């Protein structure tokens, strides 16, 4: 009997230049590889314009070796722009989930809402005083709704990856997104049981 393949999680972050999609991929991959002892790869792509054009990063996390470093069919899609959501929404595993910034993404009317989690990430970041941390709000949201990287590992990776003077702000942004995600997961769980 052949050995079971190690679980492989694939995450695609989509947005536009300036939102920190590459930073999201870097932090998640670092958390998995450096602090959780898993294998991870991260790739990124940009549109022709650096700021304002399409931007994405892809992360693969696996307990075993990662033989192919590119996302094939993600089990998590994070959409922080309408273009990214529209382009990638149908390329998701059947049991995958989609996380979107509700102020930047309008959902298609026939979308399966059971697998979609919306957060006003940019609005939360603005309330914290810096729109630039919307990506970290989204990372906290992702952390609350998935289990492939530990909360502790992500916190350590954030502290290692952001400028020293912004660690407290980034941790507040992460906590804001994580708390919102925990509340949403609890609400969906209660609704499913009813």
CB atoms within 10 A of CB 191: 9
CB 88 within 8 A of CB 98: no
Q: Are strands 97-101 and 116-119 parallel, antiparallel or unpaired?
A: parallel
Cα gap 105→103, rounded to integer Å: 6
pLDDT of residue 43: 93
Partner residues linked to 54 by β-bridges:
16
Q: Where are the domains of the chain?
A: 8-193
- Tally: H helices and E strands in the chain: 6, 6
pLDDT of residue 4: 62
* Helical packing angle, 21-30 and 134-145, nearest 10°: 40
pLDDT of residue 103: 93
CB 194 within 8 A of CB 175: no
Domain 8-193 has CATH 3.40.50.1100: no
Going residue by residue through the chain, which has 194 residues, state the pLDDT in tens, using 9 for 90 and above.
566 666 889 999 999 888 999 999 999 999 999 999 999 999 998 765 555 677 899 999 999 899 888 899 999 999 999 998 998 888 899 899 999 999 999 998 777 778 899 999 999 999 999 999 999 999 999 999 999 999 999 999 999 999 999 999 999 999 999 999 999 988 877 776 76
């Amino acid at each position: 009997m052949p050995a079971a393949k190690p679980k492989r999680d694939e995450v695609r972050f989509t947005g536009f230049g300036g939102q920190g999609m590459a930073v999201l991929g870097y932090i998640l991959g670092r958390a998995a590889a450096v602090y959780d002892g898993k294998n991870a790869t991260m790739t990124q792509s940009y549109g022709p314009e650096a700021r304002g054009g399409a931007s994405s990063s892809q992360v693969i996390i696996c307990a075993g070796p990662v033989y192919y470093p590119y996302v094939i069919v993600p089990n998590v899609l994070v959409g922080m722009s309408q273009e990214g959501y529209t382009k990638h929404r149908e390329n998701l595993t059947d049991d995958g989930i989609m996380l979107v910034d509700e102020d930047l993404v309008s959902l298609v009317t026939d979308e399966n809402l059971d697998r979609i989690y919306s957060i006003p990430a940019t609005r939360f970041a603005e309330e914290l005083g810096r729109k630039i941390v919307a990506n970290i709000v989204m990372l906290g949201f992702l952390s609350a709704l998935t289990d492939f990287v530990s909360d502790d590992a992500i916190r350590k990776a954030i502290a290692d990856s952001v400028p020293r003077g912004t660690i407290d702000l980034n941790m507040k942004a992460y906590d804001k997104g994580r708390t919102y995600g925990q509340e949403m997961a609890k609400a969906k769980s209660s609704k499913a049981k009813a």
